[in-house]
Amino acid sequence: MPYCPTGTLIPQDPPESEHVAPAIVIGPKNTTVLVGKEAMLECIASARPVNGLAVSWKRDGRRLASGRRLIVPAAASSDAGLYVCEALVSNSTAKPVEAKAYLTVMEPPSMTVQPKEKIFADLDRNVEIPCQASGVPQPRIEWYKDAVPLSKLANARYKVSSATGLMVRRVQPGDGGIFQCFARSPAGETQVHTELLVSSVAPTLLSPPSDQTVTDGDTALFTCQNSGAPKPAITWRKGSQVIASGSVQIPRFTLLQSGGLQIQPVSVQDSGEFTCIASNSEGTINATAALTVWSRTVISVPPDDQRVIKGTTAVLACNATHDPRIKISFKWDRGGVPVMPSSGGRVSVRPGSLTISQTWSGDIGDYTCSVTSQAGNDSRSARLEVIELPHSPRSLTALLSDSDSRSVHLSWLRPFDGNSPLLYYVLELSENNSPWKVYLSEVDPAVSEVLVGGLTPARTYQFRLCAVNQVGRGQYSAETQRMMLREEAPSAPPNNIVASGRTNQSIMVQWQPPPESELNGVLRGYVLRYRLAGLPGDYQEKNISSPETNYCLLKDLIIWTQYQIQVAAYTGAGLGVYSGPVTEYTLQGVPTAPPQEVEVVAINSTTIRFTWNPPPQQFINGINQGYKLLVWPEQSPEEVRVVTITPDYPSSRHTGFVSGLRKFSWYYGSTLCFTTPGDGPRSAPTLLQTHEDTPGPVRHLSFTEILDTSLQVSWAEPEDKNGIITGYMMWWEVPSIKSSRVERSLSNSTVQYQLTGLTSTTAYMIQVAALTGAGQGAVTSSTISTGVPPELPGAPSNLVISNISPRTATLRFHPGSDGKTAISRWIVEGQVVKEDGKEEEWRVVYQKDNEPNADTLEIPSLTPYTQYSCSMQILITLLETSYRRTEGEGRRAGERNADEKVGRAAESIKLENRHRMRDKESRGDDERGEFVSGICSLFY
C-alpha cells in the first residue's frame, strides 16, 4: 500500500460511489515524559475517500498541527494538558470525529529549603532540622539517622512535618549523628544531610554488667546501658583482648545496640572476666563482670535396644558426663512408670545401669533413662525384647495329592513364635524307615501348608516339622502317619546305551538299568525298539522279560544301514520312558554294482581319461572309499596298471586319468568302486588305442664303404615307433660350414643311403630322424671323416674275470689299436666246456655299443654256476666290431663281406685259444671263472 510523506497510510480508493465516514482506528494514548524529553502522540484514522481524509491536533481549542503524529521536541511544564486528535473528510457532509489524550510533564524533585551542614543542640532542648522540596508530582520526604530510617528507630521524640522538616524534642546525647532528608517521586530523587551535634557530656553507665553463670551451649548476656554526649563508643574486653567494638567483630560475640554484649553459644573456654568500656570526647568509664560456664550434663553412653533370650540377664547401660561442680541424679521408667528395685534383687538400679535378671515376657517394653542437674537434663530410651525358642507346629497332617501321585499335601497350625519373628520352617522326612533327613530346609514362615513334591513312587514316607527363629530351632511336631505312594512306570530311561555293529547284518545293543531312585517300582524287564534312521517307518520291538539281561543282538538287518535304537524299562505299573535314540550302522560290505556310464577315451599318446557316475548308493554297501582305474595292454592282461581316485562327493560325474602308457598302443580300460572290505565288480572293459606320437631315434646308425668322396649310411627303424613310420629325414654337413648342410627326405622303406660328392679327409656330421603322422622324431647324430677306409682294430689283451656272481661277471682288459677310427661295438663270445671235456660251439654272450674307450665290461645273463659240476669251464672270446657310432646303433652294414672276415678271424683265434687251454690243463692250471680262453679284435 502506498505511504504518504506525512506518515499517513493511504489505502486504495473504493468506487467513487462509495463514501465512508471518518473513524479513529487507533487513538492517542495518555503519555508521561520528563521535562526536556521528546513527547509523541499518535492517532490513526480511516475514511472513504481516503484522499479527502485529514487528521489534525488541537489543545485548548487551538489547532496545533496536522498529520497522524504530534511531536513535542523538548517538553516543558507548560506543555502538559489535554490534546485532541480530529479526523474529517473534506467536501463531505460526514461529521468530524475526535480522540483525546493527556500529556503529563514531570519535574524531578528539588530542595527548596535545606538544613545547614552542622546543627548544634543543647540537652533536653528541642531542635528543628528544616527540609522542604518541590517537583511534579510533589515528592515525598523520608528521614534517616546514621543511615537507619527513622521509622525503624520508633523514637517518639522524633516528629516529622511535611511543611517544616524534622523536630527532635528534648535532645539527648544519643541523638547526635548524621540526619539525611530524601525527596523522592517517580521523576527521581534528591537528598541533603546535616550533622546534629549535642553539647558534650561525659559517659555514664546506667546499667553496668553483672556476674553470669550459664551452661555450655546456652547464651550469656551482659548489660552495659550508658549515656553521654557525644554518644559514647562501647568496647568489650576479655582480659586484654578486644572481643567486640564498633570496629571489631568476632564470631559468637555480638555488641548490642544498647551497648550490651551477647555470647552465643557459650563454651567452657569463655569463662573469665569481661569489661565494658564507654568513652567519648568528654571521658571514659568501665565496669567488669565475671562469666562462669558449666559443662552441660549429657548422656554419653545411652542404653541400646536389646533382644535377650528368656531366662538370661539384661543390662541396660546409661552413663552421663557432667560438670564436677554440680550433682546429677538418674531415674528409670518404663512406659512412663518408674522402675523400682525389687526386693528379691531381680531388678536392680545402679548409677549407670539397669539390671534385670531371669527375664521373661513381662519385662518387654521401652525403658527410659533420665539424668537431671543444674547444668541441664537429658534422657534416652531403649527397647528390651525377651525372646525364646518357637513352639512346635501343631496338628501336622499329611494327605496324598489328588493331582500329583508323587506329591503329599502337608498342613499345620502356626505355633507361638517366641516373641521373635519366625525365620522359616524345617521339614524332614523318613523314606522307607530310613533315618530322618531334611527335605525342605527353608519353608516360608508365612505359610501353614505346603505341597511336598518329587517323591518316589512305591515308597513309604513319614514327615515332621519344626519352626526356627532368631534364638534357634524349636521342637519338632508330632510325626505323621507313615504312608505309601503308588507304583509307577519308570521315570528315567536305561543308562549308557551302547550300540555297535557286529556283522554287516547285526548290531549288538547294551545298556544299564535306570537309576534306582527313578524305577518307581520293581523292575520287570525292558523293551527295545529300532527302525531305519531318518525314516518315518514303524518301530520293531523286542521284549526282554528278564531284568538281569542288559544286552540284545539285533539280527537280519540290512547291510551297511543306519538304525535308530531306543530302550525303555518297565515295572508292574507300565512301560517307562524310552532312552534318547542311539544310531549305529551295520558293518560295511563290498559294492555289488560297478560305476555307471563309464567312458574311456585316449586324450594323448600316453594318457587315458575315464569319466563315470558312482554306482547307485544302495549298491555301495558302505562308505565309498574311492575308485580304481584299471588299464592293461590288449595282449598282456596280466600287466594291469591301477590308479586310485578319491571320490568327489560334490560332483555326480567323476573324472580320472591314467598316464605313462605306451604310445600308439592298444589297451583295455575298466573301473570299479571299493569300500573298506574290498573291491566291487569291474565295469565292462573298453578297448582303445593311445594317440600316435613322434617316433623315437633310429637305431644302429653306422657307416660303411667309407671312401674319400663317398660313404654309405645305414640304420634300423626306431625301437619306439609311436605310430606308423611314414619316412625318414637325413641331413649332413661340415660342422664348421653351415652353408654345406644338405637335407634329404626318404621313404619309410629306406634304411640306408649312399652319400656322394663329399670332400676327402673331411669330418661330416650326419643326422637321421624318423617321421610319423605326428611329426618328426628324435634326431640321431654321428660324425665320420672321409679318407682311407679304417683298418681292423687290434686285439684286446690282459683279460681278467672278477666279481663273479651266480649270473654276472666283470671282464677287465687292455684295448688294442682302434684301427684309426672310434670303436663302436664290443662283442664277447663264450664256450662252455662240459665235464667230459667236450666243448660247445662258441656263441655271442654279450655286446656293448658306443663305448669306444671301455676297459671293463659287466657280462649279464650267465647261467648260474651252481647248476654245473666243478669241472665246468667258461671260455670267453672278445671281438670288436669295425663300425662306429656316437648316438644310437645301426645294424651292421655289408654283412656278407664282414661275416666272411669275422668268420675266418674267429676260427683262427678259437683254434689258438684251444691250444692255450690244453697247455694250461696239462700243467694243472684251473682258470675257470678267472681268465677267458682267447682274445681277438676284428675290423670289417
Beta carbons of 229 and 125 less than 8 angstroms apart: no
* 635 and 646 inside one domain: yes
Whether residue 626 lies inside any domain: the answer is yes
Mean pLDDT of the chain: 85
- Given a cut of 70, is residue 881 above it in pLDDT? no
Per-residue CA distances from 131 to 113, 118, 140, 428, 756 (Å): 5, 14, 11, 104, 166
Q: Quick one: pLDDT band at residue 280, thresholds 50, 70, 90? A: confident
821 pLDDT tier (thresholds 50, 70, 90): low
Residue 900 has pLDDT above 70, yes or no: no
pLDDT confidence tier of residue 707, bands split at 50, 70 and 90: confident
96-105, 204-213, 580-589, 836-845, range with the lowest pLDDT: 836-845
**Domain C-terminal end among 84, 106, 128:** 106
Residue 253 has pLDDT above 80, yes or no: yes
- Mean pLDDT on 219-226: 93
Distance (Å, rounded) from C-alpha 179 to C-alpha 196? 7
Per-residue confidence (pLDDT) for residue 923, from 0 to 100: 43
371 and 271 within one domain: no
What is the distance between the alpha carbons of residues 299 and 381, in angstroms, rounded to a whole number? 11
Helix (H, G, I), strand (E, B) or coil at 165: strand
Residue with cell 667309407: 706
Peptide bond into 514 cis (omega under 30): no
Tell me the residue type at 475: Q
In the prediction, which pLDDT does 631 show?
A: 97
How far apart are alpha carbons 175 and 177 in whole angstroms?
A: 6
Longest Cα separation, the chain: 196
Give the model's pLDDT for residue 571.
Answer: 93
Q: What is the DSSP letter of 912?
A: H
User: 47 burial class (0-12, 13-18, 19+ CB within 10 angstroms)?
Assistant: buried
Q: What is the CATH number of the domain that holds 500?
A: 2.60.40.10
Clarify whether residues 501 and 575 are in a common domain: yes
Binned at pLDDT 50, 70 and 90, residue 867 comes out as very low
> Per the domain annotation, does 8 fall within a domain?
no
Within this chain, do residues 564 and 639 fall inside the same structural domain, yes or no?
Answer: no
- Could you tell me which residues come within 8 angstroms of residue 924 by beta carbon, excluding any fewer than 6 positions away? none
Are both 574 and 679 inside the same structural domain? no
Sheet-wide strand order for 506-512: 495-503, 506-512, 551-554
Contacts of 895 (CB under 8 A, 6+ apart): none
> What pLDDT is stored for residue 700 in this prediction?
92
E strand residue ranges, 296-414: 298-301, 306-309, 314-317, 319-321, 328-334, 337-338, 347-350, 353-356, 365-373, 378-387, 394-400, 408-413
Mean pLDDT on 767-779 = 94
Cα–Cα distances in Å, from 135 out to 68, 162, 190? Answer: 32, 14, 11
What is the rounded CA–CA span in Å between residue 94 and residue 53? 11
Better-scored residue on pLDDT, 86 or 9: 86
Contact 210, 287 (CB under 8 A): no
Contact 380, 369 (CB under 8 A): yes
H or E, element range at 123 = none
Rounded Cα distance between 716 and 702, Å, is 9
pLDDT score of 929:
32
- The neighbour count for residue 798, using CB atoms within 10 Å, is 10
Specify whether 270 is located in the same domain as 370: no
Q: How far is CA 78 from CA 117, 139, 258, 307, 382, in A?
A: 35, 19, 54, 94, 86
User: Of 147, 232, 228, 230, which Cα lies nearest the Cα of 182?
Assistant: 147
When pLDDT is cut at 50, 70 and 90, the band that residue 922 belongs to is very low
Count the domains in the chain. Answer: 9
Q: Identify whether 9 is part of a domain.
A: no
Q: State which residues form the domain around 564.
A: 495-585
Mean per-residue pLDDT for 337-352?
Answer: 89
Final residue of a domain: which of 765, 785, 805?
A: 785
% of residues, the chain, pLDDT over 70: 89
pLDDT for residue 9: 41
Give the Cα separation of 731 and 715 in Å (integer).
14
Tell whether 87 and 190 lie within a shared domain.
no
- Is pLDDT at 68 greater than 50 in this prediction? yes
Contacts of 718 by beta carbon, 8 Å cutoff, 6+ apart: 695, 696, 697, 698, 699, 725, 770, 777, 778
Of 320, 291, 280, residue with least CA distance to 303: 320
Question: How far, in Å, CA of 314 to CA of 348, rounded?
Answer: 11
What are the CA-CA distances from residue 601 to residues 211, 548, 636, 681, 687 (Å)?
A: 138, 64, 20, 21, 9
Distance CA 633, CA 175 (A): 150
Q: What is the mean pLDDT of residues 791-814?
A: 82
DSSP 3-state of 181? strand
What is the per-residue pLDDT for 820? 65
Q: Are strands 283-294 and 212-215 parallel, antiparallel or unpaired?
A: parallel
Helices (H), 533-632: none
Contact 923, 888 (CB under 8 A): no
pLDDT tens per residue across span 420-449: 999 999 999 999 999 999 999 999 999 999
Listed residue (311, 165, 289) closest to 221, CA to CA: 289
Q: Please, which pLDDT band fits residue 650 given cuts at 50, 70 and 90?
A: low
Contacts of 512 (CB under 8 A, 6+ apart): 494, 495, 496, 550
3-state SS of 788-853?
A: CCCCCCCCCEEEEEECCCCCCEEEEEECCCCCCCCCCEEEEEEEEECCCCCECCCEEEEEEECCCC
| pLDDT value at residue 935 | 32
Q: Is 60 exceeded by the pLDDT of residue 914?
A: no
Q: Domain boundary at 785, 805, 824, which?
A: 785
Residues 334 and 317: their CA atoms lie apart, in Å, by 15
- What does DSSP say about strands 763-772 and 727-734: parallel, antiparallel, or unpaired? antiparallel
The verdict on 924 and 879 lying in the same domain is yes
How many Å apart are CA 23 and CA 21, to the nearest integer?
Answer: 7
Clarify whether residues 139 and 102 are in a common domain: no
List, for residues 551-589, the tens digit of each pLDDT value. 999 999 998 899 999 999 999 889 999 999 999 999 988
Which of 19-23, 693-697, 782-786 holds the top average pLDDT? 693-697
Is residue 180 within 8 A of residue 147, CB to CB? The reply is yes
Average pLDDT over residues 885-912: 36
Lowest mean pLDDT among 298-307, 502-511, 591-600, 886-895: 886-895
Would you say residue 805 lies in a domain?
A: yes
The answer to whether residue 401 scores a pLDDT higher than 90 is no
Q: Is the pLDDT of residue 931 over 70?
A: no
Q: What mean pLDDT is predicted for residues 870-878? A: 33
Residue 220 in contact with residue 266, Cβ under 8 Å?
A: yes
Give the model's confidence band at 10: pLDDT under 50 very low, under 70 low, under 90 confident, else very high. very low
CA distance 356 to 384: 10
pLDDT of 667 above 50 = yes
- Please tell me what DSSP assigns to residue 361: G
Using the predicted structure, report yes or no on whether residue 7 has a pLDDT greater than 60: no
pLDDT for residue 800 is more than 60: yes
225 pLDDT above the threshold of 80: yes
Q: Is the pLDDT of residue 671 over 90?
A: yes
pLDDT higher than 60, residue 647: yes
**Residue 490 falls within a domain, yes or no?**
no
Residue 893's pLDDT is: 31
What SS3 state is found at 385?
strand
Strand partners, 669: 631, 686
Rounded percentage of the chain residues whose pLDDT exceeds 90: 57
Residue 321 lies in a domain: yes
- Digit-coded pLDDT (tens) for 299-309: 999 999 998 99
425 and 546 in a single domain? The answer is no
11 in any annotated domain: no
Give the model's pLDDT for residue 347: 92
Q: Among the listed ranges 224-238, 292-306, 549-563, 873-887, which one has the minimum average pLDDT value?
A: 873-887
Mean pLDDT value of segment 55-76:
90
829, pLDDT greater than 90: no
Average pLDDT over residues 228-232: 79
Residues forming a β-bridge with 428: 438, 464
Question: Identity (one letter) of the amino acid at 665?
Answer: S
Q: What pLDDT, on a 0 to 100 scale, did the predictor assign at position 333? A: 93
Task: Identify each DSSP E strand in 491-648 by its residue range.
Answer: 495-503, 506-512, 523-532, 540-544, 551-554, 562-571, 574-575, 582-585, 596-602, 608-613, 626-633, 641-645
- What is the pLDDT at residue 316? 94
- 818 and 899 housed in the same domain: yes
Name the pLDDT band for 884 (thresholds 50, 70, 90).
Answer: very low
Is 258 within a domain?
Answer: yes
* DSSP bridge partners of 56: 66, 86
| Whole-angstrom Cα Rg for the chain | 73
Per-residue model confidence as pLDDT tens digits over 14-47: 454 578 889 998 999 999 998 888 999 999 999 8
- pLDDT for 90: 85
Pair 936, 877: CB distance under 8 Å:
yes
CA 20/CA 2 separation, integer angstroms: 20
Q: Is the pLDDT of residue 902 over 80?
A: no
| Ramachandran category for residue 719: left, alpha or beta (phi over 0 → left; psi -120 to 50 → alpha) | alpha
Provide the sign of the torsion angle of the four alpha carbons 318, 319, 323, 324, taken in this order.
positive
For 353, the grid coordinates are: 545401669
> Per-residue confidence at 926, pLDDT binned at 50, 70, 90?
very low
Cα distance between residue 465 and residue 461, in whole Å: 14
Same domain, 45 and 162: no
Cell digits for 217? 551451649
Between 869 and 289, residue with greater pLDDT: 289
155: exposed, middle or buried (C-beta count within 10 Å: 0-12, 13-18, 19+)? Answer: middle
